[in-house]
Structure formats: structure tokens, C-alpha cells
Amino acid sequence: MTNTLNSIFQERFQKTARTFIAPGRINLIGEHTDYNEGFVMPAAIDKAVQLLIAPNGTDTCNIVAQDQSTEMSFSVHDLKPSKDWSTYVKGVIDGFQQLNCQPKGFDAIFSSDIPIGAGLSSSAALSSSFAFAINKLFDFGLDTLQLAKIGQRAEHNFAGVKCGIMDQYASLFGKKDSVVLLDCRSLTHQYFPLALHDHILLLVDSKVKHSLASSAYNKRRASCEEAVHIIQQSHPEVKSLRHVSKELLKSYQSTIPIESFQRSSFIVDEISRTQHAAELLKQNNLKAFGACMYETHEGLSKIYEVSCAELDLLVDIARQHEVTGARMMGGGFGGCTLNLIAKDKVQAFKEAVQKIYPITFNVTPAFYQVSIENGVNEILIK
């Protein structure tokens, strides 16, 4: 892909470019914990945005989205949100400007092999690629966390998505063959090695996205905040569910409305489970780690209620075919399941999904095998 894009860039802009790669991400465990100041466990993957970019000495940015055969041009002094992919780039440039860094115009081409709509954070990879590249191109010297915050801010203010910081963080801080245990309260992380041995990571894309997703997300968030607000009355030190132990929450069972209590109990368990899962990786215990994945799915489905029939069926098929660990991944109501599976079980599992899933839902699923790679970096072309 690099050589092809290089020749396209040179033909289009008559100059040489610098090349950057920004990966998508998976999240192994720690779901809906980010906005509760808990822990998440993402990893950068081998599906990525590739960006070729060079300054052009003007105030105009000319950007070609190679996969979509579209081109956008805009001034760095006229950055308004739009409904297309360029809104992420505009948001990133605006983020630099807010930090008193003034990017000049540039020419760019990007391409991506991250499946769109599968919950692998293609938009975060796009914003991370431009944030990292602009920082290098104009020598602004911002640190990686600042770049992640610029990407998150672009999602908030230009794309209108109130996301946590996990997606940008994973794309920028990812490390080959390691997961990132991110503390969403302190925004610090630790790496834990993921030695897969005879296993692989396989995503199954349900190819569905139910319209409930955004309204349900807001309701779940409100439920967690309601529980915190009630506990705060007598425990003012509690700022989020991260500060709440299982015992403390249980003592409020009769005070917190039942739905908010249930939702909060899942989050408290999930924060603890994610920390435990990191220790299991240290011990190289994939079997127990996989069991944690199934527990997370059960909680997301039955207690937090953000799964759907399609995702539940995919996890049931995984369980029946001796998949070591499986769960829905992402906000819910569609997207992918993540499967930790022994190589000798893959064929039978895929065949079962291909047979059962389309008959049940009249939808053909997709499979993506992923490996864990480094975060955003510059590729030096010889």
C-alpha cells in the first residue's frame, strides 16, 4: 500500500511525503468503565490508517481520501464542523490552535484497511494519524497524551460524539504483543504482555447496528451517575463508581433505584475484573482470562443490558465450540464479538457461525483476525 500511495502522492502533489501509520484498536476487557473512571484494556491492531503528508507553504490543507475517491480543501483559518471525514482533521487542527500551536497548510493522502462500523475505532485512528503527523511536521513538541486529548476533543467538538479517551489512547500508546491497562481516572497506563501461543484473536462482525445505541448509552451513563449522587450524600469523597466498593454499593441496595443499582453493580464488578484480568496475563493464564471475557459478556447482556440477540448468539456459538474467551466488544447493540480462540478450534467455530447466524438473522457475518501492533509511528521509506 505504501508504494502505491507514494506514487499517487507524487503524481498529485509533485513532491515527496512523510508516511505515518495509525492503528485501530480492540478492547479486551473493561467495557463501559471509561466514563466511570475505571480501567480499560485496549490494544492497537494490525489494521490501520496510512497517512502521507507534506507541508505546502500556504494556509490551505488539501486532503485526498484514497479509499473514497474524495478530496477536501479548506483553510486553517476557516475550520467549521462538517458531516464528512474532514471534520476529524479540522477538529485536530483546531485542537492545536487551542494550545497556541499554529499548523500551516499541508497536502495529504490517506487510506485505511480498518473496517468501518465494526467498532475498531477507525475515526480515532484517523484523528490520531493527523495529530501525530502535524505535531512532527511542524515540530510542536506536544507529548503523546496531549495528542490523545486533541483527538478526543475533535470527536467531542467537531464530530459531536462524547467519547472517552480510550480509542485515541490505544492508537497512540499501543505496543506490539502487549495490552494497555489504562486507568481512566489518572490517565496513566501499564503494559501487560499478551503471549497468545497457540491462540489467535478473532473478531466476528455481526453486521448489525441497532438504533438504540446512543440513547441507551446515555441512559446507562445517567444510571451510574444517579447511584454515585445518592452515595455522595453520606460519602462526599465518592466522585465516581471507581471509588465505590462492592460492599459499599450493597449497603445502598434499598436506597438506589433497582435499575441504577443493577447497572452500577456491573460496573463495580467490571472494574475489579479488568484489574484481575491484567494479573492473569502476567501469569500467562489464557484460560482464566477467557473466563473473565465470558463473565463480562454475561454482565453486559443480562445486567447492563447493552447486548442484543445477534451478539448473544455469536457468544453462545463460541461457548459451544470451546472458544477460550468471547464477548461483545464496544458500546453494544451491534458491532463485533471478540474471540480468544485456539488455532485448532477456528475452522469449526467459523463453520458453525456461517451456518447458524445467517439462518437466524438473515445477515452474513464477517471475520477479522487481528494481531497486536505498535501505536502510531512514522514509517521511514528508503
Does residue 272 or residue 116 have the better pLDDT? Answer: 272
- pTM, two decimals, is 0.94
Question: What does the alpha-carbon distance between residue 206 and residue 381 come to, in Å, rounded to a whole number?
Answer: 37
SS3 352: helix
Q: What is the mean pLDDT of residues 333-359?
A: 98
* Residues recognised as catalytic: 167
CA Rg value for the chain: 21
Asked if residue 8 has pLDDT above 90, the reply is yes
Asked if residue 381 has pLDDT above 90, the reply is no
Structural domains present in the chain: 2-193+373-379 (3.30.230.10), 199-370 (3.30.70.890)
Q: What is the mean pLDDT of the chain?
A: 96
Asked if residue 71 has pLDDT above 80, the reply is yes
Asked if residue 272 has pLDDT above 70, the reply is yes
Q: What pLDDT does 213 receive?
A: 65
Scan for cell 468471547, then name that residue.
326
Lowest average pLDDT, out of 31-40, 173-182, 204-213, goes to 204-213
Asked if residue 382 has pLDDT above 70, the reply is no
- 282-288 contacts at long range (C-beta below 8 A, 24 or more positions apart): 282/192, 282/193, 284/195, 286/196, 286/197, 286/199, 286/324, 286/325, 286/340, 287/324
Q: What pLDDT does 331 receive?
A: 86
What are the counts of helices (DSSP H) followed by strands (DSSP E) for the chain?
11, 13
Taking a C-beta distance cutoff of 8 angstroms, is the pair 23, 120 a contact? no
Cell numbers placing 116: 468501518
pLDDT tens for residues 193-245?
999 999 999 999 999 987 666 788 889 999 999 999 999 999 999 999 999 99
Asked if residue 1 has pLDDT above 70, the reply is no
